[in-house]
Amino acid sequence: MSSAAQPAPPANCGLQVLWDDRLTGYDFGPGHPMNPVRVELTIALAREYGLFDRPNVRVTAFEPADDKLLARVHEESYIAAVRHAGATGLPEPGRGIGTADNPVFLGMHDASALIAGASVAGARAVWEGGAEHAVNVSGGLHHAMAGAASGFCVYNDAALAIAWLLDNGAERVAYVDVDVHHGDGVQALFYDDPRVMTVSLHETPRTLFPGTGFPSETGGSGAEGTAVNVALPPGTGDAAWLRAFEAVVPPLLRAFAPQVLVTQHGADVHALDPLAHLILTLDGQRTAYRRLHGLAHEVAGGRWLATGGGGYELVQVVPRAWTHLIAEAAGLPIAPETPTPDPWREFVRQRTDEVAPRRMTDGTTEVEVRTWETGFDPANPVDQAVLATRRAVFPEHGLDPMTDL
């Protein structure tokens, strides 16, 4: 099966893009992998392609999350600790603030609350009908826990968006995380809540932070089968990753029937990412975006909130990946062979002193995928990972681990 065999998502979808230049203030300082230039270059590239000038796309203002909203998923004492550290510069290592992963920076609370507010505004837009889809490329801070910062993440914007949806009438929300790292914070915050299905495809925790995300993590009492983890071996590339995706995500989303789809799109699955060991291309990632867009229309009435996430190849990977995400969510996909605009390449040179990529592809127009219906290969480590996940959760949804698609 080719990715082209999947039904094409609708064109010209109503899209709300949550952006404010102040979002680049989420900055852990020089030398930290999570440099905000990656989102700056993303927005600049999307603008050069004219995506924000299309009549179906709106770039909208939003408010930062206030303490009451943050407390929906975070401990009040933790919020106070973040605010204190951001005002004084003093670490709170017991709260994960002031560590190598999460150095203190002045204004930490305000910058983090702004990202959270953007994702919640996107959730509100898709739930209340302000837009079919919403994108917050600065979001996806999926490691933040109720009472601690973790893995470059201070406030868990995706979890806050999901909590807002639940508080405002949503009965079933699905969260799909395609970052190379396990979406541990979102899973932990909803582990016992049967209204939320969290699905994470990631590099195996045996070789990568945060050390969680085994197939056996399937949800707490009363929520069995709503935590779904596909732990992939290092070296997994486009075709194998997409095979795993197709074997797990669509059948579970169809069975769960969410009213809203929330997705996290860490670009660190790319072969060039310096912090992990999967080897997807930009084209494999673009294919995943198209599939998630189609699934949002198929299973969730088109209600789709997409966020950014990890991604530490700041020039060659993240800006192109997330520009493809924005374009896909708008129903205006960019052809992979499209050249990157000359003004953007010059902006990249000025901002980073690097040579920008010249096309919106890594060289593959379509990724061929051998789907699960072709049969299970017991010698293939990706198939082993997929089957472990299907065996762990499919029966909870009345699905056959070997055959159902």
Summarize the confidence of residues 79-99 as an average pLDDT. 97
**Is 13 a residue whose pLDDT tops 50?**
yes
DSSP string, 230-254: EEEPTT-BHHHHHHHHHHHHHHHHH
Q: Which helix (H) or strand (E) holds 115?
A: helix 108-128
Q: Answer yes or no: 182 catalytic.
A: no
CA distance 137 to 122: 11
Helix (H, G, I), strand (E, B) or coil at 397: helix
pLDDT score of 5: 56
Helix (H, G, I), strand (E, B) or coil at 60: strand
Sheet holding 173-177, edge to edge: 57-60, 15-18, 133-136, 304-307, 260-264, 173-177, 196-203, 227-232
DSSP string, 163-215: HHHHHTT-S-EEEEE-SSS--HHHHHHTTT-TTEEEEEEEE-TTTSTT----T
pLDDT digits (tens, 9 = 90+) for 185-205: 999 999 999 999 999 999 999
Helix (H, G, I), strand (E, B) or coil at 332: coil
> Which burial class, exposed, middle or buried, applies to 191 when counting CB atoms under 10 A from its CB (0-12, 13-18, 19+)?
middle
User: Residue 331: phi, psi to the nearest 5?
Assistant: 70, 25
pLDDT score of 7: 76
pLDDT digits (tens, 9 = 90+) for 308-366: 999 999 999 999 999 999 999 999 999 999 999 999 999 999 999 999 999 999 998 78
Q: Which amino acid is residue 146, in one-letter code?
A: A
* Options 142, 143, 265, 270, the catalytic residue: 143
Least confident span in 1-15, 113-127, 172-186? 1-15
Closest to 293 measured CA to CA, from 307, 284, 304, 285: 304
pLDDT digits (tens, 9 = 90+) for 272-302: 999 999 999 999 999 999 999 999 999 999 9
pLDDT digits (tens, 9 = 90+) for 133-142: 999 999 999 9
What is the pTM for the complete model shown? Answer: 0.98
**Is 2 a residue whose pLDDT tops 60?**
no
Summarize the confidence of residues 242-255 as an average pLDDT. 98
Q: Which helix (H) or strand (E) holds 20?
A: none
**Is 146 a residue whose pLDDT tops 60?**
yes
**Is 3 a residue whose pLDDT tops 70?**
no
Cβ–Cβ contacts within 10 Å for residue 212, how many?
18
pLDDT digits (tens, 9 = 90+) for 16-31: 999 999 999 999 999 9
Cβ proximity of 92 and 98 under 8 Å: yes
CA distance 81 to 24: 22
pLDDT band at 4 (very low <50, low <70, confident <90, very high): very low
CA distance 128 to 367: 36
Establish how many alpha carbons lie within 13 A of residue 124's alpha carbon, considering only the half-sphere containing its beta carbon.
Answer: 13
* Mean of pLDDT over the chain: 97
**Is 124 a residue whose pLDDT tops 80?**
yes
